[in-house]
Structure 1
Amino acid sequence: MIKNYLKVTWRNLLRNKAHAFINMAGLSVGLVCSLLIMLWVQNELDMDSWFKNGSRIYSVYELQNYDHKLHGNYNTPGRTTEEMKKTLPEVQYGVNMGFDQWDTFQVGNKILKISGTSAGEDYFKIFSFKLLQGSAKTALNTPASLSISHKMANQFFGSADAAIGKTIRYENSKNFTVTAVYEDMPNNSSQKFDFIMNWYQFLDENTWARDWGNQGPSAVVMLRPDADPVKFAKKIPHFLDTYNGTIRKTSNFIIDLGMIRYSDVYLRGNFEDGKFVGGRIEYVRIFSIVAVFILLIACINFMNLTTARSVKRAKEIGVRKVVGAVRSALIGQFIAESLLITTLSVVVSLVLLVVLLPFFNQVTQKQIELPFYDAAFWLKLVSITLITGLVSGSYPALFLSSFNPVKVLKGALKLDTGTTLFRKGLVVFQFVLSIVLITGTVVISGQMNFIQSKNLGYDRENLVYIPLEGTLTAKYSIVKQEALKMPGVQSITRITTTPTNIQNGTGGVDWIGKDPNVSIQFTQASVGYDFVKTMNIKVLQGRDFSKDFATDSVGYIMNEAALKRIGYKNPIGQPLTFWGKHGKIVGIIKDFHFNSMHEEIKPLILRCAENENYGSILLRTQPGKTREALASMEKLCKQLNPAFPFNYNFSDEEYQKLYQNEQIIGKLSDAFAFLAIFISCLGLLGLAMFTAEQRFKEIGIRKVLGASVSSLFGLLSSEFMVLVVIALLIASPIAWYATSKWLQGFAYRTPIQWWMFALSGAMIILIALATVSFQSIKAALINPIKSLRSE
């Protein structure tokens, strides 16, 4: 019987090639989209979930209660896990980790800039990265210990074996011994470090991290196998009270601790009112829904086209029933047809998947591989094939098998009103989903354009960041003096961090009239002379820091948000105490964006620190002369700092990095919206072809009676246009709600305007009209003699 089903199915496919092609094309495109999204979603869900003891590994986070709000972050004091291991019996291992860093290493004449971090000695006991050389016990157990990746070992020593025990020069200031070589961190790890230094090295370079009142490093603990995570979570909120309890007693600035499974941090990184909200998990959910929608659109195509062509197969069904075919056999036949078409579509989609995956990886900045050797992948693929085949074939099978053989063989078969309405409803549903996707694409594009065009409060064009490292930190005054003589250099200053990522906060600010019952957090940074000038920030009151004023060493510049919180009416010259240093306010600057637009502009205080021993040079070049200025700077830096390669970053590029996720999501949305429309239009084309075929004789009669080509075109097209307009009316409120929720993740966002929906509607109507117009015009131009010849 199965052999017979397949034979009949194959003959039907060959007999109706156009119908089969449209069905297979729609299903193949829908399947390849869904498979790409499935691989991406799986990659996101697998991130950091593969560690051997993953169920016992937790990240510790802080909840800071200040300014009557609860703020969460993953920054903790630098000695948190060290004390937790001593005082909390549930903790088996604990590790503090520093910031991601790019440092210079040298072996012989080879000097390379490498990415890495600092971590406690329990690092490899918690995270089960494979060690090629060395052991987890000794990898980071001394201040001179250095663990490196296989890649770094090959770069400097040629192999992992050759690297172990060797000395490597760090920042041209210290020697480290390679105590372990680990396998390059896998793609499904959020950590991508090529070196890891001992934690005490970090504390020596960043003495502030030893202070319990400072936060910055991250903390990760692994609980003992018999520990109860729920009970442990209840013990740690007030853990810091022992070390900085005076803060809780003397102010409203309260710090509590919490914990979250380490594998969840990557997906749930956002806090709001002290709770986890959103993060990358939102995109996982959105695209999972998109994958289902696109596959559903493809299935609807199949159902619609098969149902619409039912008249063509009516006589076949009637004859089969007359000669004794039972309904269950007919249902089996049509389900078999659906499964065969789906299987062929899956094969085509796998070929497309192999071709498209490199481009998909390039867009998503991932390294996803096809898991052909993974049984789970094939199980999912078989499940998708069966579900798709059954969903797309179930209604046509039930519908076609229900035909009355007497009516069919008499030629009296007509589709009832319910069937026609159902078919139209499917078309409307398809286009509702397509319109929601295309409207989302328009809104995302509008937000990205808003981000690109918004005035940040400073000029990011022709602004270059050069890291202060090696001897440049001590020779900054020479660098500045020489740079100002170079052609193409307009201005130069320095800052402790890049202007697009100023994160350091403090509550250690006092002023006259401060409410002792309110704790306010200020973002702070130290900058050099001419910072405001170099950044091209508008000065509202007062002036920039200048070498002409010796008192600027205890002078402060603040933004509008900070002035609003402090409340001075005439701020210039007013006293301000910062970390116990008494000084005066010398300038008020207009608010500028120093973080992404996901966050509101925070109160910012700038301290003058022309001779700070770390940070970056900010170089403002003259328009059109950036290359010339950088060439001169490179020559100067190599002369003053020969042990370090010359590195720089452009401000506008660093700004773009703040929105990498949104840019990727925008590109994916564009692609999937286009493909959803393509699939929907394939179905529309198939229905237009069938409608024209069904009304072949009607068109001939109308032409004989004098109907024009344009009137016939309108007659054939209007039915479909009405369906698209109905879909637009239904989709608009859905799209508005969905895009509003997405935009809420931005503190600064473009308003949702009527023209966005009008643009989406116009696009979808034009695309649908173009889809059906060819077939409608072709039918309207047919010679009526051909259609009426048999009458």
Structure 2
Amino acid sequence: MIRNYFKIAFRTLMHNKSYALINITGLALGLAACIVIFLVVQNELSYDQYHRKADRTYRVTLGGRDYNPSVAFAIAPAFKNDFPEAEVSQYFAQQGGLVSVGEQKYNQKVYAFADENFTKIFDFTWLSGNAETALKEPNTVILTESAARKYFHDRDAMGKIIKLNNEKDLRVTGVIKDLPSNTHLVFSFLVSWETIRKDVDTSHFWSIQGGMVYITLPKTESAKSVQARFPAFIQKNWEADIAKEKGLLLLQPLKEIHFDRRYLNQISMPRSKETIYGLAGVALFIILTACINFVNLATAQSLKRGKEVGIRKTLGAFRKQLIMQVMGETTLLVLVSVGLSLVAVTLFLPYTETLLDIRIETANLFKPEMIGAVLLIVVVTILLAGLYPAFIQSGFQPLKALKSGVSDNSNGKSYLRKGLVVVQFSITQILLVGTLIVGSQMDFFLNKDIGFDKDAIVTFSTGEKVDVLRQKLIDNPGVQQVSFASGGPAYNTNFAPFTSPELGMTENDVTEIKQVDENYLSMYHIKLLAGETITKIISKDTVANLVVNQTLITRLGIRDPGKAIGQRFFIGDRPIRIKGVVQDFQSESKHKKIRACVIMYNPNSFWQASVKLRPEKMRETLASIEKDWSELNPKSLFSYEFMDDRIAGLYNQEYKMYTAFRLFSAIAILIGCLGLYGLVSLMAVQRTKEIGIRKVMGASVPGLVVLFVNQFIWLILIAFVVAAPIAWFAMDKWLQEFAYHINIGPDIFLISIVTTLIIAGVTISHQSIKAALMNPIKSLRSE
């Protein structure tokens, strides 16, 4: 019997190829998008959970007024001494390094230093080497598989030598598989901590240079009990007054690092769980839209099969048999759609790294949880998409069905179908509003209120011969302006505590320190609000005269920049006098409030050159700069970064989500259009004779098209009333994650409703024009 159901279902679908094609396309798109989103969400929620000790592993971080994932290098050795029961590891990530292998040189973006405990706390897949001893000795290095292949091609890397930054010869003692995409750790190779241990300061608590400390606690010790011992630990090892700071050191669970938005100064930026759940919500919207699309098309098709159902019932078919027949057709359609969706997903997965910056292996499709999720989606889709059309079709009255070929359509059924379209329109407008708001926020990130000029500015290392390089850049006709500094406005490397007892500020706050030349403010168009600008003078006075930003004087309780001139505060123990105040500029991402900043002249810290290029000859100018730079630094490789790209990099996570929203919203809208097409087809079938009579009475084609369109205007308006508050609430909550964000204005909702009307109008017009052009004789001759 079941075989017979599927045989009839197959013949029916072959007889209605356009119906089958549209339905299969809509379902396949919906299922494919749903599966991809499931893989992305699964990947995001599983960050760092594959380590065996993940439940007991924590990162020691710095709390207080600000949250910093880095702590002083003094923490790890003191922690090992005072907490012998814990496994403690020092980790120090580096952005940018030169690797030499024989005569070949490579610019490596990210690598790290780590001690021997690192490979005991974290689990890696070892291709060669010993995890217990690989990082024990100085001048040793562990390579990832990609790095080993890059440096040594098909040769065995073990025991080979690589030179780091033209200084250290490192012997390869291990090769591990590339890190999975669901980890906050980012590196291409690990250098033993012993290589630099003697070169770093481990005596000062406030000497924060970017190092991170990880600990694994024994099963008998809780994080709460360890953290309760921190004040005594700080007081014992450092000055007693530091212990007065509340929440100074914190334990951050390893599994929460990827989701903790308090810590932003790290290579792998965190992402909020709300955003991930929002993406899962998009998947739900898509599969719901696909099912509504299926129901509308199936209902439209069932009305054309009224005579078939009438004959079946006359010959003795039971309602249960008719329901099983429709469910068989639905199951066949869904299974074909699943097959196509899996093929589409397999073809799409290699592009997820490019589009979404998330690497997902095809093998993930065959994991038990993924297979279970696909089966669940299939069952739910069959039930959602098949039951309603099955009950509608099996409920046709034989006499009416045989007389007209089309079953009657009660108001209840009509309202349900129209309600489904309202849901579709609502989903479409929610996704449209969400995409528009995310896009507007991305534009705000990159272009609005950053406080400095970023256009056509390129940054690169100053190299060894700083003064010679400066002169060559000034003489280059393609260069407008040049500035040397410790880092451009969007680069952050140096932070320190500051206080001002004279102004009543007794608790430490954190300030960024930028060491720049005399051209820095003018080239970046950073506005001077009061006092003097940066001058080419190295102060030898006990009290340093420096320029500060608005935020710093606000923290000191001063509102008027003019009144801040001459006021004093302390960076550590060093007294500082304010000689100038500049307007705030965005040196970090807009997730957090602008930080206090001190700007000073210091040629000893000119590590980065910033060059404003003339826009007409950028390519030629960059080639010329590279030639001059390479001649001055023959042992190094030239590498540059545009300031635009640097700022965009601060919002990689948001851009991933923006890309995902655009992609999956487009799929949802496309599926929604197919559903709308189905409902218009239903109307055309129901009103065939009415259209014929109207044409005979003189109705024009445009008039008939308007007749169809008018049926949907109020549905769109109802959907907008439903969608607008939902979209506003969800997106307003998302915007609260950022310290600076756009305001949701009425223009976004206006664009959404107009876009929806256009999309609906185009979709409706196609089918309604086709119905209006039909020869009235064909529709009326049966009467």
**TM exceeds 0.5?**
yes
Tell me whether 1:431 sits opposite 2:425 in the alignment.
yes
Q: 1:228-239 alignment to 2 at 5 Å? A: 228=222, 231-232=225-226, 235=229, 239=233
- The equivalent position to 1:508 in structure 2, one of 498, 509, 518, is 498
* Aligned residue in 2 for 1:462: 456
* Aligned residue in 1 for 2:379: 386
Equivalent-residue separation in structure 1 for 2:21 and 2:191 (angstroms): 59
- The equivalent position to 2:512 in structure 1, one of 517, 520, 523, is 523
Tell me whether 1:132 sits opposite 2:127 in the alignment.
yes
Equivalent-residue separation in structure 2 for 1:197 and 1:343 (angstroms): 51
**Offset of residue 200 of structure 1:** 4.3
Cα contact 2:352–2:359 (8 A) shared by 1: no
3-state SS in 1 of match to 2:305: helix
Equivalent-residue separation in structure 1 for 2:195 and 2:356 (angstroms): 35
Cα contact 1:90–1:232 (8 A) shared by 2: no
Q: 1:355-374 alignment to 2 at 5 Å? A: 355-371=347-363, 372-374=365-367
Cα contact 2:538–2:601 (8 A) shared by 1: no
* Equivalent position amino acid for 2:145 in 1: H
3-state SS in 2 of match to 1:72: coil
**Offset of residue 774 of structure 1:** 1.9
**Offset of residue 780 of structure 1:** 1.9
**Offset of residue 672 of structure 1:** 1.7
* Aligned residue in 1 for 2:12: 12
* Equivalent position amino acid for 2:519 in 1: D
Cα contact 1:248–1:254 (8 A) shared by 2: no
Cα contact 1:157–1:163 (8 A) shared by 2: no
* Aligned residue in 2 for 1:718: 710
Distance 1:5-1:569 versus aligned 2 partners, 3 A rule = same
- The equivalent position to 2:111 in structure 1, one of 113, 116, 137, is 116
Cα contact 1:555–1:608 (8 A) shared by 2: no
Cα contact 1:303–1:393 (8 A) shared by 2: yes
* Aligned residue in 2 for 1:736: 728
Tell me whether 1:539 sits opposite 2:514 in the alignment.
no
1:391-433 Cα offsets, whole Å, 9 max, x none, are 2112222333344556656769522221111111011001101
TM-score by length of 1: 0.90
Tell me whether 1:610 sits opposite 2:599 in the alignment.
no
Distance 1:300-1:181 versus aligned 2 partners, 3 A rule = same
- The equivalent position to 1:279 in structure 2, one of 271, 278, 301, is 271
Distance 1:626-1:543 versus aligned 2 partners, 3 A rule = farther
Distance 1:677-1:326 versus aligned 2 partners, 3 A rule = same
**Offset of residue 641 of structure 1:** 2.4
* Equivalent position amino acid for 2:484 in 1: R
* Aligned residue in 2 for 1:342: 334
3-state SS in 1 of match to 2:63: strand
* Equivalent position amino acid for 1:122 in 2: N
Q: Flag as ranges the 4+ runs of structure 1 deviating above 6 A.
A: none
Tell me whether 1:62 sits opposite 2:62 in the alignment.
yes
Cα contact 1:467–1:616 (8 A) shared by 2: yes
Distance 1:136-1:496 versus aligned 2 partners, 3 A rule = same
- The equivalent position to 1:488 in structure 2, one of 472, 478, 484, is 478
**Offset of residue 240 of structure 1:** 3.3
**Offset of residue 455 of structure 1:** 4.2
Equivalent-residue separation in structure 2 for 1:247 and 1:103 (angstroms): 39
3-state SS in 2 of match to 1:365: coil
3-state SS in 2 of match to 1:441: helix
TM-score by length of 2: 0.91
- The equivalent position to 1:354 in structure 2, one of 346, 360, 363, is 346
Distance 1:450-1:156 versus aligned 2 partners, 3 A rule = closer
Distance 1:784-1:317 versus aligned 2 partners, 3 A rule = closer
1:733-780 Cα offsets, whole Å, 9 max, x none, are 111112212222232222212121111111111111111112212222
* Equivalent position amino acid for 2:349 in 1: L
Cα contact 2:235–2:243 (8 A) shared by 1: no
Q: 1:589-668 alignment to 2 at 5 Å? A: 589-612=582-605, 615-668=607-660
Tell me whether 1:399 sits opposite 2:392 in the alignment.
yes
Cα contact 2:134–2:173 (8 A) shared by 1: yes
Equivalent-residue separation in structure 2 for 1:498 and 1:549 (angstroms): 20
* Aligned residue in 1 for 2:32: 32
Cα contact 2:489–2:585 (8 A) shared by 1: no
Equivalent-residue separation in structure 2 for 1:439 and 1:457 (angstroms): 28
1:270-299 Cα offsets, whole Å, 9 max, x none, are 469xxxx98242332111110111011111
Which segments of 5 or more consecutive residues in structure 2 lack a partner in the other structure? Answer: none
Deviates more, 1:551-560 or 1:233-242: 233-242
Distance 1:40-1:318 versus aligned 2 partners, 3 A rule = same
* Aligned residue in 2 for 1:476: 466
**Offset of residue 727 of structure 1:** 0.9
Tell me whether 1:107 sits opposite 2:101 in the alignment.
yes
**Offset of residue 551 of structure 1:** 5.4
Equivalent-residue separation in structure 2 for 1:498 and 1:135 (angstroms): 42
1:10-35 Cα offsets, whole Å, 9 max, x none, are 12212333322222121111111112
* Aligned residue in 2 for 1:85: 80
Equivalent-residue separation in structure 2 for 1:549 and 1:176 (angstroms): 39
Cα contact 1:238–1:256 (8 A) shared by 2: no
* Aligned residue in 2 for 1:45: 45
Cα contact 1:146–1:178 (8 A) shared by 2: yes
Cα contact 1:346–1:385 (8 A) shared by 2: yes
Which segments of 5 or more consecutive residues in structure 1 lack a partner in the other structure? Answer: none
Tell me whether 1:152 sits opposite 2:142 in the alignment.
no
Cα contact 2:461–2:609 (8 A) shared by 1: yes
1:485-540 Cα offsets, whole Å, 9 max, x none, are 33333443333234213264332343742333x44332222223332123221222
3-state SS in 2 of match to 1:117: strand
Distance 1:126-1:499 versus aligned 2 partners, 3 A rule = same
**Offset of residue 728 of structure 1:** 1.5
Equivalent-residue separation in structure 2 for 1:109 and 1:584 (angstroms): 51
Equivalent-residue separation in structure 2 for 1:229 and 1:542 (angstroms): 49
Equivalent-residue separation in structure 2 for 1:18 and 1:168 (angstroms): 62
Cα contact 1:240–1:256 (8 A) shared by 2: no
Cα contact 2:538–2:602 (8 A) shared by 1: no
1:581-618 Cα offsets, whole Å, 9 max, x none, are 33432321111111122222222111321112x63222
**Offset of residue 192 of structure 1:** 3.4
* Equivalent position amino acid for 2:180 in 1: P
* Aligned residue in 2 for 1:672: 664
Deviates more, 1:662-671 or 1:173-182: 173-182
